[in-house]
A and B are shown apart, each in its own frame.
Chain A
Amino acid sequence: MTMEAIAPEVTAAGMTDDIAGIALGRRLKWWLPCFVVALGGLGLLGAAIGWLFYAGVGIWGIDWPVAWGLAIINYVWWIGIASGGTFISAFFFLMRVEWRTALNRIAESMTLFAAACAGIFPILHLGRPWFFYWLFPYPNTMGLWPQFRSPLLWDFFAILAYVVSSVLFWYLGLLPDLASLRDRATSRRQQIAYGALAMGFRGTASQWKHHRAAYGVMAAIMAPLVVSVHSIVGLDFAGAQTTGWHSTQFPPFFVFGAVLSGFASVLFLAIPLRRLLRLEPYITEHHLDVLGKLMLTASLCVAYAYLMDAFSVFYGAHPAEVTMFIERAFGLYAPVYWATILFNILAPQLLWSHRLRLNQPLVMAISLAVIVGMWLERYEIVVTSLHRTNLPSAWGVYHATFWDWATLTGTIALFFAGFLLFVRLLPVLSMFEMRELIGKRRRQP
């Protein structure tokens, strides 16, 4: 069976009308209930942050020795999810693969909101969040500079560059589609809103020339950027002397993990969206098949990292490392460790089968397992390492509190609130790139 990257009957005009029609007000019965639920969760996030700012980080479960709790776990988890969009939109743009075209907008939008959720946590975690601007190297009367040798400061610069770049790359790709919406809009309000957002893009030859040049070079910059971001997140850990963290494999290990959760999240969003918005002609089974293979590949990379993680502990044979690892695999938090193996390594192995890759409910279940599994992996890395560090006198136990969980739930709601607004108001596919693909297929049948 050959699978097409786009259904043969799709035309540029029909596709444009269809996708623009969604943003310009096609009735979506499921949208409002979902959005109301997300807004409810957003209220919970507001309450959790408000109480945190009033009462301080003592409302969380963190204490010595486990001073990095859910906030850092959630941060690493969200930024990992965000990677999926950049990988699909930048790497596969440079490779000129056809299946990238229908997925990049959904994936990039996912990146934006996931990165926004990630960016909240380090600031909340600061303890004195109102001093967050001390991370900037700005001229100050104290005569101080930030510590440029610290991976935590590298991380601040990496996230800043990543968030700003992701927004601009996304918006540059969106401009021609906003122009399409402006030209299709019938109500005055929509004409003004989309007209202002499109900023006068009309599709003249010189505008396209500069657009192509800017977009291509920016994609080539985004690709190493996303690798650097996750490498630096890995270095946040590897830079410390903590057991289980101080390892040279952490930068690539974190890139693998980020990619795994990124692809899983794209699948987890694309499968239901495809059905709810009737995108089957554009996001075909070919796309699901390719994403399934990518998720499997990322899972194998992560499996290798887990193996090396265990191997290097016993090869190095440092007593504190061995003690921590045995505690990780068989101690208080052992269920987390084994769930990580089950969800991230074993479950994706089902994707070797072509038939199972096309079984959408199953693929959604595997994606959810991976998303949860990657959260558990960060729980395992952060908590078990800190609770069995080098000195037995400094051992302790960590449990998250209600407010920890409320903040996590709140950011999930923030993600969905943002993503739902995107689905409602903006074109969910890159229409101009789809038109290019359709034109190319017509010339070379």
Chain B
Amino acid sequence: MIGLIAEFASETALLRAVDRLQADGFVGLDAVTPHAVEALEDRLPGRPSPIPLVILIAAIVGVAGGFGMEVYASTVSYPINIGGRPLNSWPAFVPIAFEIGVLLAILSGFFGFLIVNRLPALYVPASDAPIFANASRDGYLLTIRTGDAVRLRPILDGLDPVRIAEWLP
């Protein structure tokens, strides 16, 4: 098994390379890019991000939990009779329920992002290959793990990469 990294000058060149290699039956492709490339999400394997669903659940839990806490406090735990007004004065509980929902949603979005990506990961062996530093500047990198480097190399060369490097995956 060997890993090859090809650097391309543009998003378009990267996508063309992905399409070509997948048509030729190569699997084990991944990309490292300077910004999100939306078109890669359909091409590379993997399910859609679970984060929106996680955020939705956290928001519902936050709103329901916050609202429940307010109702419990005002009607059961600490009821105060203010001129005979209803104890469960629910419209007044909406703002805090909303804010707690927002707080939990944002917390779950941020920490959910870290968890699904297994971050923080302070040392990643791949980053020993200096070429990866280009991906945070202007290089669109395609990494390919293959047992068939002999067949891969000429195809890659024909896809007009800026440079090609090897690394041990």
A residues touching B (Cβ–Cβ < 8 Å)?
11-13, 16-17, 137, 143-145, 148-149, 151, 153-154, 157-158, 160-161, 164-165, 168-169, 171-172, 176, 179-180, 182-184, 195-196, 199-214, 217-218, 221-222, 224-225, 228, 232, 235, 432-433, 435-436, 439, 442-443
Chain A nearest CB: distance from B164 CB in Å? 19
| Cα distance, A25 to B59, chains bound together (Å) | 41
**B52, B99, B133: which has the most chain A beta carbons within 10 Å?**
B99
Contact present for B136 and A439 (CB under 8 Å): no
Given contacts A148-B92, A196-B122, A433-B35, contact A180 B112 (CB under 8 A): no
Residue pair A161, B121 in contact (C-beta under 8 Å):
no
How far, in angstroms, from A436 to B44 measured CA to CA in the complex? 20
Residue from A201, A212, A435, A442 in contact with B34 in the complex, judged by beta carbons closer than 8 Å: A435
Known: A199-B122, A207-B117. A161 touches B36 (CB 8 A): no
CB distance from B82 to the nearest CB of A (A): 9
Q: Given the complex, which residues of A lie within 8 Å of B2, measured CB to CB?
A: none
Contacts A17-B137, A205-B37 hold; do A148 and B107 have CB atoms under 8 A apart? no
Whether A180 contacts B136 by the Cβ 8 Å rule is yes
Q: Which of A161, A172, A199, A208 contacts B37 (CB 8 A)?
A: A208
In the complex, how many angstroms separate the beta carbon of B27 from the nearest chain A beta carbon?
A: 14
For A158, list chain B residues within 8 Å (CB). Answer: 95, 99
Decide: B110 and A210 in contact? CB cutoff 8 A. Answer: no
A202 touching B113, Cβ below 8 Å: no
How far, in Å, is B71 (CB) from chain A's closest CB? 9
List the B residue with the shortest CB-CB distance to A149: B92
Contact indicator B100/A199 (Cβ below 8 Å): no
Taking the closest CB of chain B, its distance from the CB of A207, in whole angstroms, is 5
A160: chain B residues within 8 A (beta carbon) = 99, 103
Stretch of B73-81, B144-152, B153-161 with 4 or more beta carbons under 8 angstroms from chain A: B73-81
| Nearest CB in chain A to that of B31: its residue | A205
Residues of chain B within 8 A (CB-CB) of A168 are 106-107, 109-110
Instruction: Say if the beta carbon of B102 comes within 8 Å of chain A.
Output: yes
Which chain A residue shows the least CB distance to B115? A210
CB distance from B60 to the nearest CB of A (A): 13
Contact of B99 among A161, A207, A213 (CB under 8 A): A161
B105 interface contact, C-beta 8 A: yes
* Pairwise interchain contact B11-A439, C-beta atoms closer than 8 A: yes
**Chain B, residue nearest A442 (CB):** B10
Q: Is B23 an interface residue (CB 8 A)?
A: no
Query: Which residues of chain A come closer than 8 Å to B132, judged between CB atoms?
Result: 183, 202
- A144, A158, A204, A442: which has the most chain B beta carbons within 10 Å? A204
Measured CB to CB, the nearest residue on chain A to B127 is A202
Nearest CB in chain A to that of B140: its residue: A439
Closest to A235 in B: B95
* Smallest Cβ-Cβ distance to B73: which chain A residue: A145
Query: How long is the Cα–Cα vector from A48 to B102 in the complex, in angstroms?
Result: 34
9 closest A-B pairs by CB: A200-B121, A199-B120, A213-B49, A183-B133, A12-B138, A436-B35, A208-B36, A180-B136, A157-B99
Distance in angstroms between the alpha carbons of A160 and B48 in the assembled complex: 31
- Measured between beta carbons, the chain A residues less than 8 angstroms from B138 are 11-13, 16, 435
Interface check B46, CB cutoff 8 A? yes
Give A151 to B96 CA distance when docked, in angstroms.
Answer: 9
For the complex, give the distance between the alpha carbons of A70 and B124 in Å.
52
Determine the distance from Cα of A199 to Cα of B46 in the docked complex, in whole angstroms.
23
Say whether, besides A217-B52, A443-B11, A212 and B122 are in contact (CB < 8 Å). Answer: no
Chain A residues within an 8 Å CB radius of B61: none
* In the bound complex, CA of A413 to CA of B132 (Å): 41
Given that A16-B137, A148-B73, A202-B127 are contacting pairs, would A208 and B106 also be in contact in the complex, using a CB cutoff of 8 Å?
no
> B137 is contacted by which of A149, A151, A180 (Cβ under 8 Å)?
A180
Min CB gap B57→A, angstroms: 12
Q: Please tell me if B70 contacts chain A, counting CB pairs below 8 Å.
A: yes
Contacts A207-B117, A217-B52, A228-B98; A200 near B105 (Cβ below 8 A): no
CB-based contact A214/B49 at 8 Å: yes
For residue B114, CB closer than 8 A to chain A, the reply is: yes
CA distance A144 to B137 in the complex (A): 56
Per-residue interface assignment for chain B, residues 116 to 142, with 1 indicating a CB less than 8 Å from any chain A CB and 0 otherwise: 110111111011000011011110000
16 A-B pairs within 8 Å (CB atoms) are namely: A12-B137, A16-B34, A137-B69, A148-B74, A157-B100, A165-B106, A169-B110, A195-B122, A203-B136, A209-B40, A209-B46, A210-B51, A214-B109, A217-B51, A433-B35, A439-B10
Residue from the list B106, B113, B123 in contact with A221, Cβ < 8 A: B106
CB nearest to A434 among chain B residues: B35
